[in-house]
Structure 1
Amino acid sequence: MFEDGVSNAEIARAVGVCAESVRRWRRAWEEGGASALRRRAATGRPPKLDDAQVENVRAALARGAQAHGFEADLWTLERVGAVVEQVTGVSLSRASVWRLLTGRLGWSLQRPERRAVERDESEIARWIAHEWPRIKRGP
């Protein structure tokens, strides 16, 4: 559209953006041609862990928390952070550990089901089958 001489306002209406964006695009196109309009890689701080380190962490976490000296086989952000530091030598904040787990490793939040240790499934089934109907009938 720039090559055809279409106005900024017409391009903005056709594409559905504001005219200021089209002016910025036209300036970039005039200075660098069509290649200047191509999408660029996202900028920002590079991750602290490279892909090889992330795979090492993935393998370490797959062995379970008890393999790393923890009493229960549950992962917390603090425990994962300690394993990351042990495996890679890189210290991560709790927020960075969360982003590592949910983003690069694809994990999700899981909470253990809270049940009494004394729970007896067979006794519960017996009570539901025999006692509850008797109680429901009444005296």
Structure 2
Amino acid sequence: MVRYAQGGGLTDAERAAGSGCGGRRWPGFEDGERNSDIAVMLRVSERSVERWWRQWREGGAAGVASKGLPGRPRLSEAQIARLERELERGPLAHGWSDQRWTLSRVKKVIGRLFHVSYTVEGTWRLLKRHGW
């Protein structure tokens, strides 16, 4: 499913119906319509339609099904355990001058240890998910 700000200019009814790109049926692909007509109908670029058409041709409806939002890099359970040990050592052990963990500091430790970049919000979610 494609996401656009304010629903991409679609009405509530069009969004509820899936308006093609998120619906069960791919109008145009099954009906042999031109890519330019499909692009206008779905309010997307022709290039996107070409890519979706190729995915539909190779895998059917499952080929163009949404894979969900792009995921953030995940840490393995072993990495989470190591992060918890490092956090228990405290900020002083990681070069800060006080004993205060902030999300920004934890984010930096994750980056240094695992070469993975989280946002501050992603760091908060990671810590919350693991009981911190």
Larger radius of gyration: 1
RCO higher in structure (CA 8 A, sep ≥6): 2
TM-score bucket of the superposed structures, by smaller chain: 0.3 to 0.5
TM-score (normalizing by structure 1): 0.43
TM-score (normalizing by structure 2): 0.45
